[in-house]
Structure 1
Amino acid sequence: MTHATFDAPQPDRAFDAPESDRAFDAPTVIRTKRDGGALSDAAIDWVIDAYTHGRIADAQMSALLMAIFLRGMSGAEITRWTAAMIASGERFDFGDLRRDGTPLALVDKHSTGGVGDKITIPLVPVVMACGGSVPQAAGRGLGHTGGTLDKLESIAGFTAELSEDRIRQQLRDIGAAVFAAGELAPADRKIYALRDVTATTESLPLIASSVMSKKIAEGTRALVLDTKVGAGAFLKTEAESRELARTMVELGAAHGVATRAVLTDMNTPLGRAVGNAVEVAESLEVLAGGGPDDVVELTLTLAREMLDAAGLDAVDPAQTLRDGTAMDQFRRLVAAQGGDLAKPLPLGAHTETVSATRGGTMGDIDAMAVGLAVWRLGAGRSEPGQRVQFGAGLRIHRRPGEPVAAGAPLFTLYTDTPQRLGAALAELDGGWTVGDHPPPARPLIIDRITSRSRA
């Protein structure tokens, strides 16, 4: 990808569909990108508007997404593509909101997608407890990665379908709302669902524009990006992930959103639970002052970044986990959105356990293998709009470096569809080892990138 300067975009106008339709057609736009050409601003404006309003078929947009996946985009193309997706719908502005006469400290976080990445669930209430206000436009699962909305909707009664008035009220009254994007960047909603089922998820331009179109449109003032690196990330190498982080930081700056990124390791799943409800259960452990060390570390790292970006430093985020104030805020958030934590979380009725055939030390666990296994169990989608199984998931009983006894359980798989177990076990096979020595230690936090940090 050619790196370019990200200037403030222009297309905030309504598109003249009939006139633009006379100027462009889908096969020509597809052919241009297929053959390695750059799409013009006008062509990008047209294709986003036409697809949003149903004048381009899913098959044609799928072909264009694959062409972008294979050919890439320049910085100028990504800027325009992002701006056109923002212009396809509403853009929230919460600048007028006050609490006790003081403007809200609006800040949000977004992850580029990982395995076992339930961080939003404990992170939002931690930031709430520290005085921040979080307008969190969250997504559903994409490919082998889980989605925050799918996880939270495993809580009985919880809804993410919130009106703008409801979002404003929650931000003012309790300090957060976690919601489906709705009319924010509706072009991205359609493209996101198509990417999920057409093997076009692992594309730097499509990831950057998808993330930033929603986040810019949601009305936050500051944004922290958790950019994943490794086997379970969409972009596998550190160089690619750095380029993605820089691209998103510059897109945010071009739209007046103070944006920074943290590069984090995603070679191994986060925590000990991967799926939907099982990740909510693990998040509750973290909010209760326990939980896996890596989940706690990343939650607190991102909380500190968010609070710094919002100009808040009076409260230690770790204290909110120790004293229960973060848990209190999570209960308020869930209740505000119709959820009932008193009801048990679902768990797949059919299980399979993978046990160790020898003793030793748990080696590396391949995040991609685990993610695909959980997808096979029913936690993700193979068709647009497909319902996920809230109880589908996997528990990791031995983390890398932990001692293993022969016959001890290593993984437990859960699903409501027993026919899925064989395919899930096949995905997991070869994705872990037990040896005589622990694997090399890798830092969870690799680096941070701001608009002034280019290295």
Structure 2
Amino acid sequence: MDARQIIAALRDGTDPGADALRWFAQGLASGVVSDAQAGAFAMAVRLRGLGPAGRTALTLAMRDSGDLLEWDLDRPVIDKHSTGGIGDCVSLVLAPALAACGGAVPMISGRGLGHTGGTLDKLEAIPGLSTRLSEAHLRRIVSEVGCVIAAASAQLAPADARLYAVRDVTATVDSIDLICASILAKKLAAGLDALVLDVKTGSGAFMARPEDARALAGALCETANAAGCRTSAVISDMSQPLAPALGNALELAEVMQVLTGVRRGRMAELSTLLGGVLLERAGLAATVDDGAKRIAAAIADGRAAECLGRMIAAMGGPRRFVEDWQRFLPEATVIREVPAWRGGYITAMDGTALGMAVVELGGGRQVERDLVDPSVGLSDVLPLGTQVSAGQPICCIHAARVAQADRAEAALRAAITISDASAPVPDLIRARVD
């Protein structure tokens, strides 16, 4: 086969076929396909589309471009994926809760992207913990603990790593076909029996418009189910941070407050629903409601927290992290409350701007080689709909230097709207897609 023929077929709106897509994915992984050809391929898919059958074929081809994890366990292998948001630390609540409910959870996660935080960055705020694990180590943790959250190895769906880097510089990131193949290739390579997807919409999401989020959720579910993985999606609101904190250590603190029963709220609500959906899809619960009750019980009675503690220790972190987590998380040197500049109601938040304010503080990356400061970010962010008086704190900035805090405060004033009249607050759960 020839890369040029495949690209020409896509350019002309012709389905190149599963064999051709498989050859192209192997060429991406091996280097036979050049960067120029990868970029042309991505643009052709972006402009012409693949259709459901072609999307599934590309996903399977990218999955098969590297190693596949196979499991011989007495419980279903399950996972969750989020399309990214702010204050979203559900994975750290849900993975141990699912394990406590009888699932095996090999969660292959990523780092921060753009304005959104990364689960691996959050975990690595814990001293000593490493998310780069050998396959043998990953398998041992899943077998002994029930869950692990780790970085993808270079051997897992290598075609995706190559194509993703090209998409980022060729204005093809927003192709639903390519998004589906990228997300699902890695998940399917992990050997999953069932998957739940949390597709975000709102000002802090990549798919800000509800119709775009629904289209992506439908395409992801259709593709994953066609590939043999039982999958459902929940479309959830990201018009405001999911948890009242943004930043790696600060979000870990929120996770521990949920798992130790100190805090409820939107993050706990979404974690419970996603877990219920996944337990039902995996055959571990008769209904979604039954599954949600099981997840809530695992959190309430401490089994999820205990499971998270064992996972952290197995990944090199402190053995008593759950019992004494405040002692282990880093703290910023500058902590400043941001007062409301007028009285009224908090009616809107620019989620992307909030996320970028954390990046500017050093809590995320502007380029891949940037180091992340795990201590910085925002905490105590008041939710939409809150009535405030002038001078009342609406959030707290955690920064390394005063000048950084000054810039963050200016960004927050521009990102948060306080109005005379209240406005409807979007529902957390927008829809479910199977």
Q: How does the TM-score come out when normalised to structure 2?
A: 0.87
RMSD: 2.8
* 1:71-107 alpha-carbon deviations (Å, 9 max, x no partner): 544333322321221111111111x22xxxxx11322
Query: What letter is aligned with 1:202?
Result: D
Query: Which residue matches 2:317?
Result: 339
Query: Which residue matches 1:234?
Result: 206
Query: What letter is aligned with 2:118?
Result: G
* 1:109-155 alpha-carbon deviations (Å, 9 max, x no partner): 11111111110001111112222221211111222211111111111
Cα distance in 1 for residues equivalent to 2:21 and 2:410:
41
- Compared CA separation, residues 157 and 300, structure 1 to 2 (3 A): same
Q: Is the 8 A contact 1:194 1:384 kept in 2?
A: no
What's the secondary structure of 2:246's corresponding residue?
strand
1:433 has 2:417 as partner: yes
- Compared CA separation, residues 376 and 52, structure 1 to 2 (3 A): farther
- Compared CA separation, residues 196 and 209, structure 1 to 2 (3 A): same
Cα distance in 2 for residues equivalent to 1:432 and 1:62:
38
Query: Which residue matches 1:146?
Result: 117
Cα distance in 2 for residues equivalent to 1:40 and 1:252:
21
Query: Which residue matches 1:50?
Result: 27
Query: What letter is aligned with 2:390?
Result: A
User: Which residue of 76, 87, 96 corresponds with 2:53?
Assistant: 76
1:411 Cα deviation (Å)?
Answer: 2.9
- Mean Cα deviation higher: 420-429 or 49-58: 420-429
1:380 Cα deviation (Å)?
Answer: 2.6
1:46 Cα deviation (Å)?
Answer: 4.4
Q: Is the 8 A contact 1:362 1:434 kept in 2?
A: yes
User: Which residue of 262, 269, 272 corresponds with 1:297?
Assistant: 269
- Compared CA separation, residues 432 and 210, structure 1 to 2 (3 A): same
Cα distance in 2 for residues equivalent to 1:205 and 1:386:
30
- After the TM superposition, which residues 27-42 of structure 1 pair with which residues of structure 2 at under 5 Å, given as runs? 37-38=13-14, 40-41=16-17
User: Which residue of 56, 66, 78 corresponds with 1:89?
Assistant: 66
Cα distance in 2 for residues equivalent to 1:81 and 1:426:
45
Cα distance in 2 for residues equivalent to 1:270 and 1:178:
20
What's the secondary structure of 1:307's corresponding residue?
helix
User: Which residue of 194, 211, 224 corresponds with 1:222?
Assistant: 194
Query: Which residue matches 2:144?
Result: 173
Cα distance in 2 for residues equivalent to 1:303 and 1:416:
36
Query: Which residue matches 2:3?
Result: 24
Q: Is the 8 A contact 1:347 1:392 kept in 2?
A: yes
User: Which residue of 299, 313, 321 corresponds with 1:321?
Assistant: 299
- Compared CA separation, residues 175 and 210, structure 1 to 2 (3 A): same
Query: Which residue matches 1:123?
Result: 94
User: Which residue of 385, 392, 395 corresponds with 1:411?
Assistant: 395
Query: What letter is aligned with 1:243?
Result: A
Query: Which residue matches 1:9?
Result: none
Query: What letter is aligned with 2:85?
Result: G
Runs (5+) with no aligned partner, structure 2: none
- Compared CA separation, residues 222 and 203, structure 1 to 2 (3 A): same
* 1:159-217 alpha-carbon deviations (Å, 9 max, x no partner): 22222222222222111121212122122234445556766543322221111111111
Cα distance in 2 for residues equivalent to 1:164 and 1:365:
41
Cα distance in 1 for residues equivalent to 2:178 and 2:127:
33
Q: Is the 8 A contact 1:142 1:196 kept in 2?
A: no
- Compared CA separation, residues 318 and 90, structure 1 to 2 (3 A): same
Cα distance in 2 for residues equivalent to 1:196 and 1:404:
41
Query: Number of matched residues?
Result: 420
Query: What letter is aligned with 1:77?
Result: G
1:302 Cα deviation (Å)?
Answer: 1.0
What percentage of residue pairs aligned between the two structures are identical? 40
Runs (5+) with no aligned partner, structure 1: 1-19, 98-102, 451-455
Q: Is the 8 A contact 1:127 1:303 kept in 2?
A: yes
- After the TM superposition, which residues 316-395 of structure 1 pair with which residues of structure 2 at under 5 Å, given as runs? 316-340=294-318, 341=321, 342=324, 343-350=327-334, 353-395=337-379
User: Which residue of 371, 384, 389 corresponds with 1:400?
Assistant: 384
- Mean Cα deviation higher: 105-114 or 66-75: 66-75
- Compared CA separation, residues 198 and 160, structure 1 to 2 (3 A): farther
Cα distance in 1 for residues equivalent to 2:162 and 2:362:
22
- Mean Cα deviation higher: 60-69 or 409-418: 60-69
Query: What letter is aligned with 1:235?
Result: M
1:279 Cα deviation (Å)?
Answer: 1.0
* 1:216-235 alpha-carbon deviations (Å, 9 max, x no partner): 11011111111112222222
- Compared CA separation, residues 80 and 180, structure 1 to 2 (3 A): same
Query: What letter is aligned with 1:91?
Result: L
- Mean Cα deviation higher: 123-132 or 196-205: 196-205
1:281 Cα deviation (Å)?
Answer: 1.1
1:421 Cα deviation (Å)?
Answer: 5.2
What's the secondary structure of 2:328's corresponding residue?
coil
Cα distance in 2 for residues equivalent to 1:59 and 1:384:
22
1:57 Cα deviation (Å)?
Answer: 5.4
What's the secondary structure of 1:262's corresponding residue?
strand
User: Which residue of 184, 191, 194 corresponds with 2:156?
Assistant: 184
Q: Is the 8 A contact 2:9 2:16 kept in 1?
A: no
What's the secondary structure of 1:160's corresponding residue?
coil
Cα distance in 1 for residues equivalent to 2:42 and 2:159:
13
1:295 Cα deviation (Å)?
Answer: 0.7
Cα distance in 2 for residues equivalent to 1:289 and 1:371:
27
Cα distance in 1 for residues equivalent to 2:212 and 2:135:
36
- After the TM superposition, which residues 143-292 of structure 1 pair with which residues of structure 2 at under 5 Å, given as runs? 143-182=114-153, 183-193=155-165, 195=167, 200-292=172-264
- Compared CA separation, residues 404 and 114, structure 1 to 2 (3 A): same
Q: Is the 8 A contact 1:181 1:189 kept in 2?
A: no
Cα distance in 2 for residues equivalent to 1:68 and 1:353:
47
More helix as a share of residues: 2
Q: How does the TM-score come out when normalised to structure 1?
A: 0.83
- Compared CA separation, residues 404 and 199, structure 1 to 2 (3 A): farther
